[in-house]
C-alpha cells in the first residue's frame, strides 16, 4: 500500500506518453557513457553555469546501536568554494562541523575544512576513504576534537539516474504539473545527474582521544 501511494498518478494519457518520451530521449547511449565516467570524479561547471553549479559527494551510514554518520562535500561556484558537512550521533551526543562554508582545497581535490574523500588507489574496487580531523561542535561553545577514518566498500550495484530512471514513472510525475514554457525552462535549468550506491562504512572514530571501531550500513551519493 505504501509503495502504491508513492507512485505518481500522472495526468491525461497523452501527457503521460509525452513525458515518458522526453525522458527516453534524454537516455541517449553517449550521454549515459559520459555520466558513467563522472561517477567517481569531480565534474567541472559548464561554462556560464557557475552560479547554479553544485557537485555534491555524500557518504552516510548508521548502525543498530545508534551510531549515525553523515558526511558531504558540495563544490560550488567555479569549484573553489565548498560546503563541508559532518553530522554525527555517537553515544547519545550530537556533533557537527562548526563551520559549513569553506574554500575547497584545490579544484582537483575532494577536501575542505578537514574533511577529505579519496580513492586511495582502490578505484577499481569502488572503495573510498572518508577522513576528518578537526573540531566538532556539541552545541553552544563546547567542542570536541575528532579524528574519523572510515573506508567505504560497495555492496550493491550503482543506480545512475540518466540510465536507470523509469521513463513512465518520471513522465507521469511531469504530467501532473501544469506545462508551460516557464516550466520546461526551469527543468532545463535544473539539469543534474544522480548516482547512488549501497555499501558499508567501517573504521574508527576518535572523540577527544577516545577511539571506537564502527561498522555502518551505508550509502554513497554523487
Concatenating the DSSP letter of every residue in 189-204 gives HT----EEEEEEEEEE
Residue scoring higher pLDDT (189 or 8): 8
pLDDT value of residue 18: 84
The answer to whether 168 touches 11, Cβ cutoff 8 Å, is no
Place of cell 555499501: 199
Cα-Cα-Cα-Cα torsion 32, 56, 166, 199, nearest 10 degrees, comes to 100
For residues 5-21, average pLDDT: 84
For residues 35-49, average pLDDT: 79
Give the residue from 125, 135, 131, 123 showing the smallest Cα distance to 150: 131
Contacts of 143 (CB under 8 A, 6+ apart): 98, 135, 136, 137
Q: For residue 58, what are the CA distances in angstroms to 23, 81, 100, 110? A: 26, 16, 14, 11
- Given a cut of 90, whether residue 120 has pLDDT beyond it is no
pTM of the model: 0.83
pLDDT value of residue 94: 92
At residue 24, the 3 state secondary structure works out as helix
For residues 57-80, average pLDDT: 90
The answer to whether 53 touches 45, Cβ cutoff 8 Å, is yes
Place of cell 580513492: 119
Q: Express each pLDDT in 123-180 by its tens digit.
A: 556 889 999 999 999 887 888 999 999 999 999 998 988 888 888 888 898 889 999 8
Q: How far apart are CA 175 and CA 89, in angstroms?
A: 41
Q: Express each pLDDT in 83-115 by its tens digit.
A: 889 999 998 889 998 766 566 565 667 888 899
Cα-Cα-Cα-Cα torsion 52, 199, 114, 72, nearest 10 degrees, comes to 30
Element (H, E) at 149: strand 142-154
Give the DSSP letter of residue 66.
S
Q: How far apart are CA 64 and CA 22, in angstroms?
A: 42
pLDDT value of residue 21: 84
Q: Express each pLDDT in 73-90 by its tens digit.
A: 988 877 678 888 999 999
Q: How far apart are CA 173 and CA 204, in angstroms?
A: 42
pLDDT value of residue 183: 85
Place of cell 500522472: 10
Give the residue from 28, 51, 60 showing the smallest Cα distance to 193: 28
Amino acid at each position: 500500500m505504501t509503495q502504491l501511494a508513492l507512485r505518481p498518478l500522472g495526468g491525461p494519457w497523452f501527457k503521460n506518453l509525452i513525458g515518458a518520451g522526453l525522458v527516453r530521449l534524454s537516455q541517449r547511449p553517449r550521454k549515459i557513457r559520459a555520466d558513467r565516467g563522472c561517477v567517481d570524479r569531480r565534474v567541472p561547471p559548464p561554462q556560464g553555469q557557475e552560479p547554479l553549479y553544485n557537485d555534491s559527494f555524500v557518504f552516510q551510514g548508521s548502525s543498530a546501536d545508534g551510531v549515525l554518520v553523515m558526511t558531504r562535500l558540495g563544490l560550488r561556484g567555479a569549484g573553489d568554494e565548498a560546503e563541508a558537512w559532518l553530522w554525527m550521533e555517537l553515544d547519545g551526543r550530537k556533533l557537527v562541523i562548526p563551520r559549513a562554508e569553506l574554500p575547497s582545497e584545490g579544484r582537483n581535490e575532494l577536501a575542505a575544512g578537514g574533511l577529505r574523500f579519496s580513492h586511495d588507489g582502490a578505484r577499481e574496487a569502488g572503495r573510498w576513504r572518508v577522513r576528518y580531523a578537526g573540531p566538532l561542535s556539541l552545541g553552544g561553545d563546547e567542542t570536541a576534537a575528532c579524528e574519523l577514518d572510515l573506508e567505504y566498500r560497495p555492496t550493491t550495484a550503482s543506480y545512475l539516474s540518466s540510465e536507470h530512471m523509469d521513463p513512465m514513472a518520471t513522465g507521469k510525475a511531469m504530467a501532473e504539473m501544469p506545462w508551460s514554457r516557464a516550466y520546461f525552462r526551469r527543468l532545463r535549468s535544473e539539469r543534474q545527474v544522480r548516482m547512488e550506491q549501497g555499501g558499508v562504512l567501517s573504521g574508527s572514530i576518535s572523540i577527544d582521544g577516545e577511539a571506537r571501531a564502527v561498522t555502518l550500513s551505508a550509502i554513497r551519493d554523487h
